[in-house]
Chains A and B, each alone.
Chain A
Amino acid sequence: MLGLNKQDTTILLVVAALTIFAPFILNPFPVDSAMAQFNAGYPDLMQRFVIFGIFAIGFNILFGLTGYLSFGHAAFLGIGSYSAVWMFKLLSMNVIPAIILAVIMSGLFAVVIGYVSLRRSGIYFSILTLAFAMMMFALAYSVLTPITGGETGLQLALDDPRILGISATPEGNIPTPSLFGVEMRASTTVPVGAWEFTFNFGYYFCALIMLVAFYLSVRIFRSPFGLTLRAIKSNQQRLNYTGVNPKPYTLAAFVISGMYAGLAGALMASMDPLAGAERMFWTQSGEVVLMTILGGVGTLFGPVLGAGMIKYMENIISKINSDILHSWFAFLPDGLEDLIVAIIYPFIGKGWHLTLGLIFMLVVIFLPGGLVEGGQRVRSWMKNRGKSKEETSQTPAE
């Protein structure tokens, strides 16, 4: 289907099904139950899942295929957001021009940063990209305040021109981002028995774009271009002596992944029309590296999975506080309850980074191929178990 082989088509369909039914899948617990806080099916978080999915998919095209570890990809995220917000300020609140400008701008910056950084490989490449991103963060935070809004960030205002739209709504509010009149924040909540499912237009818009982005990345992975990128990761010396110039290939991969990041930045701004310099900070660059490694470097599905996992933990585990813990363990004797809460407490709330760090270490040590490798192992283990069961059941019959 769509020029993909059977296996890739399956993966694409699985990702499509997961994103379409996400409002159900992420809300498995009834609203009033004690487990309701593990529900992740609210628009804001679902949007973040798919937007960071796009960011990680793009990052994986560079890191997963060529092995070049960029530590400054958040710069493109920031450029995407700033470009989109400027489009909202100057042109109209329609997200399409904003996204187009964001992708073009991040692509242009990626050409320049990539051209310079790719003169080196390995750790030096990583440091160069990090330096660029931090320079851009510093510029956005201070010197470029007229363009970026500095510390407060770039925000919409009532007196923005918006030549193709309206500066203010008849009620005197700032208009919200929309797609040809349909607002991104438009939501419908459907109660089903004790459950409640929210369908948000912004989420489905981002999800559709993520599916397209995912499909394109599958095509890139399977193309001769993708094969050459994998050859660069494997043995650049051999590639040189095979008549291939690796430089334009790595630059193309860098620019493509920069454009993906710009797209993600534009969508972030489309969901919430403001852009701040902290979006370019190095921790943000580090986060996408974590997502890709956690999910599985160089796999198709891994980055999406890693992005979802980290965003889920960031938003759900961080919300658990000591009161909730006490209510969970209330059935235990008092002393024991306090002890268990005291043990778990550092790993929840603001300590969610500790949990993430532990999971990350376990994955890197035991599953170098990421969560995707974990899934494959479980599958092959189940297969083998099924086989050996058949064998044992056949033995007595002989």
Chain B
Amino acid sequence: MLEAFIFATILCGFFGIIFKKNLVMKIISMDVMSTGVIAYYVLIASRDGLFTPILSTTRRGNYADPVPQAVILTAIVIGFSIQALMLVGVMKLARNNPTLETSEIEQNNAP
């Protein structure tokens, strides 16, 4: 069930990238897509248990798998830095292409 929601999020993001015309909207769609991917990692991590794996004397139940979480943390950092970089590029482009429609930008900049 949760898996279905996650895949729906990923697909929504992907279709947003295709169907939205505005470059900023495309970048936001990409963010939606990456949110879906991150959620999928968290879901896989919680297959065996939900508790944070911290050493303590009392055992509270099954621990969540820390590896996918650690991995996705790296991916989140990379993802947001790429988005920041893209938005800077968009700011520069917006000066000469105020509508930011990709087809327009492409026409102006194609050889």
- Mutual binders A and B: no
